[in-house]
Amino acid sequence: MSSRGGDVTDERMPQPGAPAAPTPSLLADEPVDAAIVDSELVYEGRVWDVRSDTVAYGDGQIVRQYVDHPGAAAVVAVDEDGRVLLIQQYRHPIRLRDWEIPAGLLDIEGESPLETAQRELAEEVDLVASSWEPLVSIFTTPGGNDEIVHLFLARGLTPADDVHAREDEEADIRLEWVPIADAVAGIFAGRLRNGILAVGVLAAAERLRTDGAGEGPVT
């Protein structure tokens, strides 16, 4: 720093007439066109497959096994009282009945993620919504699978015309309407650990906050 006549100037700060500092680029995931030398179907499953790819990367090759996943859509359903609909069901890999949000696979050819979300809301919890907004899309486990989940905010909820029959893990689904602030608190307390629920609830809470601040929906 320099001082003259009582004036203090921080030489690290832009000075009058100095060129503006460059604006940092927005961070974004970067596509990589790595050549796949060989791809082997290791296991063909009922819902998803396991593949082993040999990839040309850098000066050599790497071999990576991963789950080849169709993707999914999920719904954060919020009622007029600011409550979010959570569902609880058994998930065998983690041996828990964890809390989730309605979601389903993109496994119908020609069906968009939004149409999948609308179908799953009706099939899992017998609801339809008059307002749909995209929230975020996420890769769930990029080191182990290529699953992408598209999350939507659904409002203007009413009962569906039909009640759907459910079986297997869905046969004893439990539904709870939870104030969204309580769901956020449950996430940070570690009581609600489902990743899609966490991202969806936090994104919806921010969307509702900005709506309440008069900024309106962001799509």
Q: Is 185 helix (H, G, I), strand (E, B) or coil?
A: helix
Residue 115 in contact with residue 92, Cβ under 8 Å?
A: no
Query: Beta partners for 148?
Result: 139
Helices (H) and strands (E) in the chain, counts: 3, 12
Residues annotated as catalytic (active site), given as ranges: 170
Q: Of 77, 81, 192, which is closest to residue 124 (Cα–Cα)?
A: 77
40 exposure class (CB count in 10 Å sphere: 0-12, 13-18, 19+): exposed
Q: Is 166 helix (H, G, I), strand (E, B) or coil?
A: coil
| Residue 68, C-beta contacts closer than 8 angstroms, at least 6 positions apart | 48, 49, 50, 51, 145, 146
Calpha distance 33→11 (Å, rounded): 44
For 204, other C-beta atoms within 10 Å of its C-beta total: 27
Q: How many CA atoms lie within 13 A of 193 on its CB side?
A: 7
